[in-house]
Amino acid sequence: MRRRASATAALLALGAALAIVAGAYATPERAAAPAAQSGSDAASVKCGKTRTIGFMVPVTGPAASIGVQQQHWAQYYVSTYNKTHKGTKFKLQTEDTQLGAPTGTAEALKGAQALAGSPNVLGVVGPAGSNEIVGVTKTLMDGGLAWVSGSSTRTTLTTDGTRTGYMFRTVPPDAVQSTTVANYISNKLKYKRVYIIDDQETYSTGLADAVQAKLRAAGATVGRDGVSQQQSDFSSLIAKIARDTQIVYIPWQLPPKGQAFGNQMKAAGKGSIKLMGSDGLFDSSFASVGAHVYDTNFPLNPKSKIIAGFKKQHGGDGEYFGAPSYAATQVVATAINRACKTGTTTRAKVRAAIRTTAIPAKASLIGVALRFNRNGDLSTLHGFGLYKSNGKDFVPIPG
């Protein structure tokens, strides 16, 4: 009995001690303003010769196949920059976010913390996924870091106002892409029987919803389904697609899955139904399904020297999904250099420099100049490029 009493007393003492310590370090004043980390926001950093860009990318995990493309493109920018510039060099501090991994956004969060905590990191390229951005928003903003994503397309990320001035992206949002797709299907192809399948990931459902709404408004009959990204047996799903369907729209992000789907359609005797993918599927592996495959992508300039150089280094593979990450790296690097004119800079200055980015069309592989609007979206890009397969590769077609 006495032991229990003393134990309880000790417990109370412990609780009180912890509460006092906690109180001492976590006063409401500190909470009101994000002062605890504002040091890194305004802290002035020596730019030095080698400048560091934070890079959040899924190098491993289920989405690694697209993450690696982004990594290649970002590294391509850095290596060509470093080769052609004598005075300054860039290096990437890569944090693996494991997008789509069974541990979820925890890895992205830790990576963001690591970047926010490294004083040398002045700006961030990535993260890749829209949900990752939602997860790391607070961390990066508390650290005063701006980030430029090359693949997160959820429209509300920039329009809901919570990340204004911090988040930028070099891909157009779903709203732009879905309009291009829906207009093409209903006005150009004049198809009335459409089937849409999303892959249950946030990128995909957003696009699928938007296209579905627009096509229905245009009077088309739209069937809708979803299939988990972890699945590659589509046979029963394909059985469900009526044989008189005219086109199947699959806004997915893993080109091999699109290829598998297309091949399984053919094996099921439904190879005559047209297929349309999204920028996530813009890859020769998806194009190889056949000449009945359409796709959309931001209007890459296929004659661009940058793309040719990249292809040469990577065995002829364009890895186009990663291309906007090249633009994102370019934006961040240029902004850091501008903010570094005096030799020292702050993260706030880099943010401001990114906001006022102006990269001429000549230097950009997207084909148009890179400038951001107030929300952080590209103000220079209003439509998506349309492509059709020639059986091996995608070639641009008039929209």
Q: Does residue 230 touch other proteins according to CB under 8 A?
A: yes
- From the CB of 295, what's the least distance to other proteins, in Å? 18
Continuous H helices in the chain? 2-25, 28-32, 35-42, 64-84, 106-117, 130-142, 156-159, 174-183, 202-217, 235-240, 255-267, 284-287, 305-313, 323-339, 347-355
Give whichever of 36 and 308 is closer to other proteins, judged by the CB atom: 36
Backbone angles phi, psi at 210, to 5 degrees: -65, -45
Q: Does residue 98 touch other proteins according to CB under 8 A?
A: yes
What count of other Cβ atoms lies within 10 Å of the Cβ of residue 116?
23
- From the CB of 163, what's the least distance to other proteins, in Å? 10
Q: Does residue 26 touch other proteins according to CB under 8 A?
A: yes
- From the CB of 18, what's the least distance to other proteins, in Å? 5
What's the rounded Cα separation, in Å, for the pair 153 and 381? 14
Q: Does residue 233 touch other proteins according to CB under 8 A?
A: yes
What's the rounded Cα separation, in Å, for the pair 245 and 247? 6
Amino acid at 195: Y
Amino acid at 291: A
Site for other proteins in 103-162 (CB under 8 A): 103-106, 109-110, 113-114, 116-118, 130-131, 134-135, 137-139, 154, 162
Applying CB under 8 A, the span of 48-56, 220-228, 357-365, 390-398 interacting with other proteins comes to: 220-228
Give whichever of 244 and 343 is closer to other proteins, judged by the CB atom: 244
Q: Does residue 375 touch other proteins according to CB under 8 A?
A: no
Q: Does residue 41 touch other proteins according to CB under 8 A?
A: no
What count of other Cβ atoms lies within 10 Å of the Cβ of residue 93?
16
- From the CB of 398, what's the least distance to other proteins, in Å? 31
User: Of these, 189, 218, 237, 307, which contacts other proteins (CB under 8 A)?
Assistant: 237
Site for other proteins in 324-353 (CB under 8 A): none
Amino acid at 196: I
Write the Ramachandran bin of 43: left for phi over 0, alpha for psi from -120 to 50, otherwise beta: beta
What count of other Cβ atoms lies within 10 Å of the Cβ of residue 33?
8
Q: Does residue 48 touch other proteins according to CB under 8 A?
A: no
Give whichever of 159 and 263 is closer to other proteins, judged by the CB atom: 263
Q: Does residue 318 touch other proteins according to CB under 8 A?
A: no
Q: Does residue 266 touch other proteins according to CB under 8 A?
A: yes
Site for other proteins in 52-91 (CB under 8 A): 59-62, 64-65, 67-68
Size of the site for other proteins (CB under 8 A): 90
Task: Please report the DSSP string for 143-155 in residue order.
Answer: TT--EEESS---T
Q: By C-alpha distance, which of 201, 193, 396, 176 is closest to 294?
A: 396
The tokens of 229 are what?
């990204």
User: Of these, 49, 83, 86, 243, which contacts other proteins (CB under 8 A)?
Assistant: 243
What's the rounded Cα separation, in Å, for the pair 328 and 53? 11
Site for other proteins in 172-211 (CB under 8 A): 197, 200-202, 204-206
Give whichever of 129 and 299 is closer to other proteins, judged by the CB atom: 129
Q: Which residue has the tokens 């077609």?
A: 397
Helix (H, G, I), strand (E, B) or coil at 1: coil
Q: Which residue has the tokens 């946030």?
A: 202
Amino acid at 318: G
Count Cβ neighbours within 10 Å for each residue of 300-320 and write b for 16 or more, e otherwise: bbbebebbeebeeeeeeebbb
Q: Does residue 31 touch other proteins according to CB under 8 A?
A: yes
DSSP-assigned beta bridge partners for residue 222: 194
- From the CB of 327, what's the least distance to other proteins, in Å? 23
- From the CB of 372, what's the least distance to other proteins, in Å? 22
User: Of these, 87, 102, 316, 343, which contacts other proteins (CB under 8 A)?
Assistant: 102
Give whichever of 3 and 49 is closer to other proteins, judged by the CB atom: 3
- From the CB of 256, what's the least distance to other proteins, in Å? 4
Applying CB under 8 A, the span of 20-28, 46-54, 306-314, 343-351 interacting with other proteins comes to: 20-28
What's the rounded Cα separation, in Å, for the pair 85 and 106? 37
- From the CB of 330, what's the least distance to other proteins, in Å? 24
Give whichever of 107 and 299 is closer to other proteins, judged by the CB atom: 107
Give whichever of 259 and 389 is closer to other proteins, judged by the CB atom: 259
